[in-house]
Chain A
């Protein structure tokens, strides 16, 4: 064990933050969010990863669906959020998504929409 070994450790911490762009955007979001959205704390980056990983069971790993269920790739955050919120409110008709979106807060849907836009290409 030498002191040199401690240097990369600092770099590692920086990369820890870099792999979670969602956290940053989600944390920044309240300023631009509509007033109607309840002020619920946004989920942690790791909690968002947990949530989106569940989505992959139907929508394919990294949102790339191999079959009849739509992929999650190629969406902008606003677009993804609109779809999710419309499923939740019932404004958009759907199948299991109208039932599943009701299980998430608006802040969570926003974090998921940001994740979709930033990470699922």
Chain B
């Protein structure tokens, strides 16, 4: 009993009164050694930063440390608008100051090099070690560079992926600006599952907008591993209206699957044909983030199996995996879904630290895409836990209506901008 502080006792007693099972709760709460419960969050993106903030909102007594390698976070959402010339890099860059000052989160700009699941410790590149009661891992995605012959991290300097926003976005923009009018821009779109399902097609749209204004004789060819894509009908209607003849979509079954890239000659070799581009954007097949792979949190699929009620890893108890890296049933790998998962994960952790079982959770995904500056489309859905894991509620959700009037697209374009302001302030503000 000497190890239990007064604060711990209050927490345990409070939990026990809720469950009416003092013994069980004390046994569960024993995972906290002494003092405030410590949660370490790895990754300061849509999943990690949300989780850190909402942990503190739900229980101010929890000591939260957020480990993020970058001094500021640059969002993938709206990076396509940068490519389209509608936004600056600055406007999609977010500081961690408010999370530190207003929400009392200990933000460390460092990199986790290893996780000791049994010892409940993480090691950092700086040499420091952090102990935790619960660990949240939200590392986003990594690339399977070797899935396309000739592609690599080095090749990405010539054919950018620009699928992690930052220098890669700037590099792709620079290449597009240098391209001649009448040039060909190739996008290699990845197979499922991948980060941001509508992303490659919003990118094609935004770059078409840039071409229309500055290089109207240019062409965009999407070489896709898939036969269909997110919001396909809406995108294609928008392309026909705003950029007639400019964007060509090549589905996987009709020669869209990239097999080899030749960086020197700027050629993408698919199963059926060779395509030459003046600028080539290769978005490679993806896996869970590096630290998840290195820590044994992934299964054979390359993604992380989790309990859908808490997002606790099925492979390592005490570690929660959220965002793109997790296998989250029907939820897409979107920034919005990552943030929703993070909120549910935070609530489940707060409950677990008290010795309670998590409350019923529910998830939302709402993603807007800009086809043109005044032409927005959306997809939305509500997701629940069922005996089949996380499934989408039938009869709800879906995409914007087909054949909607221009005013509808215009309003959704305004909501697209509002969405970005809201979600980024909800996460980093």
A37 to B397, CA, bound (A): 22
CB 8 Å contact bits of A8-24 with B (1 = contact, 0 = none): 11001100100000000
Interface locus among A25-33, A43-51, A75-83: A43-51
CB pair A61–B347 under 8 Å, yes or no, is no
Shortest CB distance A94–B (Å): 10
CB pair B10–A67 under 8 Å, yes or no, is no
Pick from B6, B58, B364, B382: contact of A57, CB under 8 Å: B364
CB 8 Å contact bits of B1-42 with A (1 = contact, 0 = none): 110101001100110011000000000000000000000000
Q: Which chain A residue shows the least CB distance to B420? A: A67
CB pair A99–B397 under 8 Å, yes or no, is yes
CB pair B382–A44 under 8 Å, yes or no, is no
A12-B13, A13-B14 known; A58-B347 Cβ under 8 A: no
Shortest CB distance B11–A (Å): 9
Pick from B14, B58, B412, B421: contact of A9, CB under 8 Å: B14
**8 A Cβ contacts from B122-152 to A:** none
CB pair A102–B422 under 8 Å, yes or no, is no
Shortest CB distance A104–B (Å): 7
Classify chain A: how many residues form its interface, as a range.
35 or more
- Main DSSP-derived SS at the A contact region: helix
B363 at the interface (CB under 8 A from A): yes
CB pair B17–A13 under 8 Å, yes or no, is yes
CB pair B359–A103 under 8 Å, yes or no, is no
A89 at the interface (CB under 8 A from B): no
- Find chain A residues with CB under 8 A from B360 CB: 43-44, 46-47, 50
CB pair A102–B397 under 8 Å, yes or no, is yes
Shortest CB distance B338–A (Å): 10
Pick from A50, A51, A66, A101: contact of B422, CB under 8 Å: A66
A9 to B395, CA, bound (A): 46
- Find chain B residues with CB under 8 A from A100 CB: 364, 366, 380-382, 396-397
CB pair A5–B9 under 8 Å, yes or no, is yes
CB pair A56–B362 under 8 Å, yes or no, is no
- Find chain A residues with CB under 8 A from B70 CB: none
CB pair B351–A68 under 8 Å, yes or no, is no
Pick from A5, A60, A99: contact of B426, CB under 8 Å: A60
B235 at the interface (CB under 8 A from A): no
B418 at the interface (CB under 8 A from A): yes
CB pair B425–A61 under 8 Å, yes or no, is yes
Pick from A53, A95, A104: contact of B382, CB under 8 Å: A104
CB pair A16–B18 under 8 Å, yes or no, is yes
- Find chain A residues with CB under 8 A from B364 CB: 54-55, 57, 100, 103
Query: Which residue numbers of B lie inside 8 Å of A, CB to CB?
Result: 1-2, 4, 6, 9-10, 13-14, 17-18, 54, 58, 336, 339-340, 343-344, 347, 351, 359-364, 366, 378, 380-382, 393, 395-398, 400, 408, 411-412, 414-415, 417-423, 425-426, 429
Q: Could you name 7 residue pairs across A and B whose Cβ atoms are closer than 8 Å?
A: A9-B10, A13-B14, A16-B14, A56-B426, A57-B426, A58-B418, A68-B417
Q: Top 3 closest A-B pairs, CB basis?
A: A103-B382, A68-B418, A46-B359
